[in-house]
Amino acid sequence: MSLMGLNNLYREVILDHSQNPHHKHALAQATTAATLKNPTCGDVINLELEIKDDKIVDAGFSGEGCTISQASASMMTDVVIGKTTTQGLEMAHIFSDMVMGKKHPDSDLKKLGDAAILSSVMQFPARIKCATLSWWALRKSLGEEVDD
Ligand code: ZN
């Protein structure tokens, strides 16, 4: 898939996250982890979290896959570190709604940081799973049931 058709600035931010992913490493003190696969694209995200007193104090991931899946994991780990588990889940739900085209106020989207840019994958329905994979891994590692 090409990212042609995406706004240039968005494309640059996505490429930068996929080429220089943030928090792409194992955690020494992980307290929970989840692995999710997106078979249609071959994406794999293995997410580790360190949770202390209901707070996500660190997050790291490993895996492979397309530009969107890797960029999304990088963006997701960026914004969830330092949040409570409740806030993390709320963000995961906002993100899923956003890529499915459901409207949220700008104040909600701002909480997502760079990840809000991935709302542009709505234009490519086949890529929605690539974008949501890391957020579903977050939900799963926080104890929510997700279909995989
Ligand atoms: Zn993908």
Give the per-residue pLDDT at 36.
97
The alpha carbon of 52 and the centre of ligand 1 are apart by a number of angstroms equal to 31
> In the chain, where do the E strands start and end?
32-38, 43-52, 55-64
Residue with tokens 């409570």: 84
Distance of alpha carbon 53 from alpha carbon 32, whole angstroms: 13
Is residue 56 within 8 Å of 2, Cβ to Cβ? no
Position 40 scores a pLDDT of: 93
* pLDDT of amino acid 4: 64
Tell me, in angstroms, the distance from the centre of ligand 1 to residue 116's CA: 17
The alpha carbon of 41 and the centre of ligand 1 are apart by a number of angstroms equal to 5
pLDDT of residue 2: 59
Average pLDDT over residues 66-85: 97
What is the band of 6 on the pLDDT scale with cuts at 50, 70, 90? confident
Q: Is the pLDDT of residue 1 over 70?
A: no
pLDDT in tens, 96-112: 999 988 988 989 989 99
Does residue 148 have a pLDDT over 80?
no
Cα(131) to centroid of ligand 1, in Å?
7
pTM of the full predicted structure? 0.93
Distance 65 CA to ligand 1 centre (A): 6
pLDDT band, residue 8 (cuts 50/70/90): confident
CA 87 to chain centre: 14
